[in-house]
């Protein structure tokens, strides 16, 4: 059987599925339940310095986006860091780590962007026996207005500076949690590496307002007649997270920087995709909040079965396997040509492919008088829209044109070469030169 044991920046856990720093990891009771359910590790909900108490709202803290079947696609969270006393959290972390020595316990931290508070809190966390710290440079709401969270994560110089302090004042591995609310995710990752970070984790939540009540004209969730932006998470953010993880994994400046992948992990397949794009492990929040802690058991069994089927002996065998195949647009083969094909035995004649292509694409799908649908290869650009809107999986597929075949749309013969945008006739620069 595949070995799911994970070792991330020297931190060992029985599997690569960790709970992210969030409400599910706010106290000892929750974390113990999580470990009993099978989670490989947790990142304890963000601690702040002892001082003025954190006061969370006492009204709704989450807004939501649902699919047509009421399936939760995303949460908008306006909750702040832990509002429980620092000393209470530290005692509970110590107790949990003592009783679960084989599980990863990493502590998320957020204090003012000054050397003193970091120097003070790090030894307190180290005394608990925790395996490492995660620097929360990502939260886009509440704490950012106080000069913390994403207010730090959006300034590479601050990231490098604080990371250096943490490496100076602690022997624990330091993971820097990055905000997606930035133009180029590579810059903060490079700054974290310059500061000596052992790893980065991403993505933190995306700045968002999920909905507006059109009776009262108030953003939701509503607190006494007002709303505010919050942090968006859940399955809907997964594509953004995958892209940002891949950006760091294939950046020559950070290719050796370990990554903890976060953002919409709901199934074992989601986790495997993050691993393939360079993440050494994954962190989960919204799935646990939606389905409970035992969701990890499906993730573990699913990943194990897939690895056995594919012959992957360990998690390390999967990490980064897709990175060499991920590039920029200009790297794509412009001489690769496919055409849509409709399987008449599977087609239910709903007409969705026809409507989508006729109204919004290239008029490449034909409808006969008896409502049979076929593809006009002379118009098909292989955009894939028909496959995406078809309700029958596998009914429409893409057929690759072989060497020697002629593309009816362009009249070009497939020659098997790799098309280069810099020399392609559709490139305006090439056309102008000619």
> Active-site residue numbers?
139
Tell me the C-alpha distance between 117 and 304, whole Å.
43
Number of Cβ within 10 Å of residue 327's Cβ equals 11
CA distance 319 to 239: 18
How buried is 416 (Cβ within 10 angstroms: 0-12 exposed, 13-18 middle, 19+ buried)? Answer: exposed
Q: Is the dihedral of CA 237, 243, 244, 246 positive or negative?
A: positive
Beta strand segments in 275-321, E: 281-284
> How far apart (Å, rounded) are the C-alpha atoms in residues 143 and 136?
10
The two beta strands, 72-77 and 230-233, are antiparallel
How far lies 113's CA from each of 108, 137, 149, 157, in Å? 15, 10, 10, 11
Name the residue among 152, 157, 198, 196 with its Cα closest to residue 178.
Answer: 152
CA dist 140 to 24, 150, 310, Å?
19, 5, 40
- The residues that bridge with 232 in the sheet, in sequence order, are 76, 206
Contact status, residue 237 vs residue 245, Cβ threshold 8 Å: no
Maximum separation of any 2 CA atoms in the chain, in Å = 78
Q: How far is CA 260 from CA 20, 155, 190, 271, 362, in A?
A: 10, 21, 15, 11, 41
Distance CA 76, CA 152 (A): 21
Are residues 125 and 146 in contact, defined by beta-carbon separation less than 8 angstroms? no
Give one DSSP letter per residue of 248-286, joined into a string: HHT-TTTTTS-EEEES---SHHHHHHHHHTT-SEEEESH
CA distances from 316 to 16, 332, 339, 348 (A): 10, 28, 37, 43
């Amino acid at each position: 059987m595949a070995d799911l044991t994970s070792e991330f920046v020297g931190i060992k856990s029985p599997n690569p599925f960790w709970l992210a720093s969030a409400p599910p990891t706010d106290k000892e009771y929750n974390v113990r339940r999580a470990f009993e359910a099978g989670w490989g590790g947790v990142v304890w909900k963000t601690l702040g310095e002892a001082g003025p108490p954190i006061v969370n709202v006492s009204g709704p803290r989450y807004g939501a986006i649902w699919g047509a079947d009421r399936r939760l696609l995303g949460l908008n969270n306006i909750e702040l860091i832990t509002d429980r006393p620092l000393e209470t959290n530290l005692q509970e972390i110590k107790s949990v780590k003592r009783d679960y020595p084989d599980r990863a316990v990493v502590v998320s931290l957020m204090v003012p962007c000054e050397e003193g508070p970091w120097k003070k809190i790090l030894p307190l966390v180290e005394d608990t026996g925790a395996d490492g710290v995660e620097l929360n440079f990502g939260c886009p709401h509440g704490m950012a207005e106080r000069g913390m969270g994403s207010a730090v994560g959006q300034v590479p110089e601050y990231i490098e500076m604080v990371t250096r302090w943490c490496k100076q004042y602690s022997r624990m591995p330091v993971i820097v949690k990055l905000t997606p609310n930035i133009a180029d995710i590579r810059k903060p990752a490079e700054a974290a590496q310059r500061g000596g970070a052992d790893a980065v984790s991403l993505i933190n939540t995306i700045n968002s307002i999920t909905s507006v009540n059109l009776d009262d004209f108030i953003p939701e969730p509503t607190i006494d007649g007002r709303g505010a932006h919050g942090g968006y998470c859940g399955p809907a953010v997964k594509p953004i997270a995958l892209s940002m993880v891949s950006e760091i994994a294939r950046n020559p400046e950070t290719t050796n920087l370990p990554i903890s992948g976060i953002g919409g992990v709901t199934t074992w397949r989601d986790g495997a995709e993050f691993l393939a794009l360079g993440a050494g492990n994954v962190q989960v929040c919204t799935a646990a909040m939606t389905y409970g802690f035992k969701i990890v058991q499906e993730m573990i069994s699913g990943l194990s079965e897939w690895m056995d089927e594919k012959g992957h002996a360990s998690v390390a065998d999967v990490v980064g396997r897709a990175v060499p195949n991920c590039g920029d647009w200009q790297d794509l083969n412009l001489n690769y040509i496919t055409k849509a094909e409709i399987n008449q035995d599977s087609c239910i004649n709903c007409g969705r492919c026809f409507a989508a292509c006729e109204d919004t694409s290239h008029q490449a799908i034909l409808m006969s008088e008896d409502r049979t649908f076929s593809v006009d290869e002379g118009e098909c650009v292989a955009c894939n829209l028909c496959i995406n809107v078809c309700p029958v999986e596998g009914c429409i597929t893409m057929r690759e044109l072989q060497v020697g075949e002629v593309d009816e749309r362009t009249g070009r013969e497939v020659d098997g070469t790799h098309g280069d945008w810099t020399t392609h006739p559709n490139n305006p620069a090439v056309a102008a030169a000619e």
